Structure 1
Amino acid sequence: MKKLALAALAGLLSLPALAHDYSAGALKIGHPYSRAMPAGSPTAAVFMSISNSGGADRLLAASTPQAARAELHQHLNDNGVMRMREVAGGIALPAGGTVTLAPGGLHLMLLEVPKQAASGERFPLQLQFEKAGKVTVEVKVESGMAPAHPAGH
């Protein structure tokens, strides 16, 4: 009886973690999140990990009712100046690999955001993959802005 109760409790405790992971074919999308932004900011960014246990695929596009546009972006070092650029042709997802969308690297840029979501809120985001098709994930808004530059730079 005690083992059954512990197993049930362990199952219940794991539900929130499972609820924030998504699948699209061979792709596993982990922890889609955004940082809370100032109320008047017209932009926001979304981050996540995408693991691919199948053949090569590509993230082609994203959309959300949270913004007028969503673009695939990356940070590039342009002669010592960090610049953000749209990724042409989508984000490659190699077979058997994991791609991390994170501050300071690849990310989804939300543009023309009419109203910023507050910390703790969630919003839908539809991802379009070349082979896996469309999947809708829920983006969790977390407190705290990401640093403008990595520590030490």
Structure 2
Amino acid sequence: MTHTLERSTMTRLLLSACLLTLAACGQASAPAGPATVAVSDALCRPTPNGRDVTGCYLTLTASQADRLISVGSPVSGLAQIHEMKTENGMMMMGELKDGLALPAGEAVSLAPGGNHIMLLQLKQPLAAGEQVPLTLTFEHAQPVGVRAAVGQPPAAS
């Protein structure tokens, strides 16, 4: 009878240890929650003299690693994510066709002279004081709508 009691106790202990191990594994692999991206300092330049393109700037902070893959706005026929880079001593601007990487927890600034959003084929000029609706689409996070103020970006310090 002593062997049966000891075996029963040992079986229960072993089973408890296995269940605790499985529970711990499940918690470690559980997702950290839905990906989110915070947007701040959204600004688009005004368009003097009837220009039909403008640059927009903002700061993105993703809760998890993500990628900005597209931008849209009802005020333009086309919106693109652009980069500025130097080639052969000249500044060149071009579309980031694969989007813009957003490392987890790091603020990524889209600013004059660097990565930015280009609004092309504007439907009307943008004047200082107006607001421009933008929809940002990400690889993982839900799309984010933001209203960008129209104005001049602060001077670089």
- TM over 0.5, yes or no? yes
User: Do residues 96 (structure 1) and 116 (structure 2) align?
Assistant: no
For these two proteins, the number of residue pairs brought into alignment is 124
Q: CA deviation at 1:143?
A: 3.9
- Per-residue CA deviation, residues 58-83 of structure 1 (Å, 9 max, x unaligned), is 00001001110000101110111101
Unaligned regions of 5+ residues in structure 2, if any?
Answer: 1-33
Q: CA deviation at 1:55?
A: 1.9
Candidates 69, 74, 77, aligned match of 1:65:
74
Tell me: CA distance 1:120–1:97, structure 2 relative to 1, closer, same or farther (3 Å): same
Aligned to 1:31: 41
Candidates 47, 72, 87, aligned match of 1:78:
87
Candidates 21, 36, 41, aligned match of 2:51:
41
CA RMSD of aligned residues (A): 2.0
Q: CA deviation at 1:39?
A: 3.6
Q: CA deviation at 1:88?
A: 2.0
Alignment of 1:3-152 (within 5 A): 25-52=35-62, 54-143=63-152
Q: Distance in 2 between matches of 1:26 and 1:75?
A: 26
Higher helix share: 2
Q: TM-score, normalised by structure 1?
A: 0.75
What letter corresponds to residue 26 of structure 1 in structure 2?
A: T
Unaligned regions of 5+ residues in structure 1, if any?
Answer: 1-23
Q: CA deviation at 1:36?
A: 1.2
What's the % identity of the aligned pairs? 35
